[in-house]
Amino acid sequence: MKTMKKTARFLTALLLALTLTAAELAPALAVTQSDIDALKNDAADLTSQRKELESKLSALKDDKSQAMEKKKLLDEKIANTAAQIKNVEAQIADYTALITQTEAELLDAQQREEAQYELFCSRVRAMEERGTISYWSVLFKAESFTDLLGRLDIINEIMDADQAVIDQLQALQAEIEEKKASLEASKAESEAAKADLMVKKSELDSQRREANALIQSLTANENETEAAIDGLEEEEAAIQAMIIKKSKELAAQQAAQNGNQTPSNAALGGYIWPVSSHYITSTFGGRASPGGIGSTNHKGIDIGRVGYTTEIHAAKAGTVIVSQYSSSYGNYVVVSHGSGNTTLYAHMSSRKVSAGDYVNQGDVLGITGSTGNSTGPHLHFEISENGVRINPLTYLTGYTLAG
């Protein structure tokens, strides 16, 4: 009888061990549905922003006097679509991780189910072999009342162990069904997100074409656009005055912090190319027929062959004094390298720095684009020395001129 009791205890212990192993096997969740829900909330915010932009756009008159205002809204709409694409891409990545996790969990549950079923079968087989399939026979062999009570305990343990095996088996089957269902749901959601991504990417392309065409159409009739050009030139001049003022103020402030010493401005020069492309589509100075409605007296250089995803690097270390949007420059950043020595980077699709940030030479300031007065993706780059804009190509070498 002692052997039976031992067997029952062994089985109970085995079951306990199996339960513990199962708990340990469950992998820590790296991605949860709530992560995806948070992304979906962000997506809803972006959609309402987009609707607001669309109603503002449709309220604008379809004439050239409001073209720059329209371009500004289109630039915002493009940034919104780009943010939506980023959001959907993050959702897809989360779904992919969730699917991988669920598949691993499902495999684990299936393996546990298999082990549990084998255990159940071996229990039944053992009982059949020992002829103890009928618990009553154990009881009939009792020699005394104390012996009978002892035997009842054994039977309870055996019955409990059997029931626990069966219960676990059923729980595992339910777990497997649930995992299979959630796996199917995640796969369907992921497919829907991928289809959505395709739609949004083509929307982004057509929005960019629309924005570039809007600026291009302004050149069609010089007379009509004269007012717009004047406005932009005034804006650029005001910006340049503001830049020089800020740069000088910053240099004075820094000198004061350094203990009233004479402002020790960094030496002039020492710039690196702000983008990997060295292809110049428009040089510094006068140009007979400018692309777009840009100033006929070009105050910087245009670097082409950059697309909408190229990183823009600080040409020289310094402090960011401007990071904002303007009708002429679109998203632009200005870095001050000393009193009156600044570099300007324009038409970015996105800015990665804020005013006040210190940047090292080569740090990423933003991503190239075609915001503001621009007819296609390029970087408009300016260098000011002693408060005056100079030709950047006197410093930057190894370029190719567009022919």
The contact set with Zn ion (CB under 5 A) reads: 302, 380
Q: Environment class of residue 4 by beta-carbon count within 10 Å: exposed (0-12), middle (13-18) or buried (19+)?
A: middle
State which residue, 64 or 347, has the beta carbon closest to Zn ion.
347
Residue 380 CB, nearest approach to Zn ion (Å): 3
Minimum CB distance to Zn ion, residue 300 (Å): 5
DSSP-assigned beta bridge partners for residue 334: 322, 344
In angstroms, what is the minimal distance from the CB of 385 to Zn ion?
18
Of residues 25 and 237, the one with the C-beta less far from Zn ion: 237
Smallest gap from residue 282 Cβ to Zn ion (A): 6
112 versus 380: smaller Cβ distance to Zn ion: 380
Q: Which is nearer to Zn ion, 189 or 302 (CB)?
A: 302
Residue 328 C-beta: closest distance to Zn ion, Å:
10
Q: Least CB distance from residue 298 to Zn ion, whole Å?
A: 6
- For Zn ion, the closer of residues 95 and 345 by Cβ is 345
d(CA 90, CA 134): 60
Q: Cα–Cα distance between 329 and 76 in angstroms, integer? A: 14
Per 3-state DSSP, the chain is made up of helix, strand and coil in percentages (nearest 5) of: 60, 15, 25
As a whole number of angstroms, the distance between CA 314 and CA 374 comes to: 21
- Can you give the length of the chain in residues? 403
Q: What is the C-alpha end-to-end distance of the chain, expressed in Å? A: 101
Q: Residue 54: left if φ>0, alpha if ψ -120 to 50, beta else—which one?
A: alpha
Distance CA 403, CA 401 (A): 6
* Residue number, nearest CB to Zn ion: 380
Q: Which is nearer to Zn ion, 338 or 376 (CB)?
A: 376
